[in-house]
Amino acid sequence: MIRENSLFDIPRLDYFQFWNEFTGSWQGFNYRLMPEKGEEPCLKASVWQGLWCSSKSEMAAEQAFPLTEEGLEQMIAWLEEQRKKMEEWPEEIR
């Protein structure tokens, strides 16, 4: 089930706990959410702007969050913050 919030439709935590990736965009702002296994599993968020997919783009910012409900909420807040900063990104990234 996808939750709704101010800018992004992000799946619930259990989606990521089964190691599924998620990508999306909002008015040219692109993001990729990828759970990572390890001693302390985390959810890695990457953002970029432009027409190309993540593998063909330069990431403007990346951040890892705990793979918990609190970490998911922190990640959503971070995505909203990154979206607001988009206008400040260097021209070569935009």
pLDDT at 17: 96
Name the domain count of the chain: 1
How do residues 23-66 score in pLDDT, each as one tens digit?
998 878 899 999 999 999 999 999 988 766 666 677 788 999 99
| 9: Cβ contacts below 8 Å, ≥ 6 apart | 2, 3, 24
Task: Find, among 71, 91, 90, the residue nearest to 16 by Cα.
Answer: 71
pLDDT at 12: 93
Task: Residue 8: give the domain boundaries.
Answer: 2-84
Model confidence at 67: pLDDT above 50 = yes
In a domain, 78, yes or no: yes
In a domain, 51, yes or no: yes
Model confidence at 7: pLDDT above 80 = no
In a domain, 26, yes or no: yes
| 78: Cβ contacts below 8 Å, ≥ 6 apart | 45, 63, 65
In a domain, 91, yes or no: no
* CB of 33 closer than 8 Å to CB of 22: yes
- Stated pTM of the model: 0.81
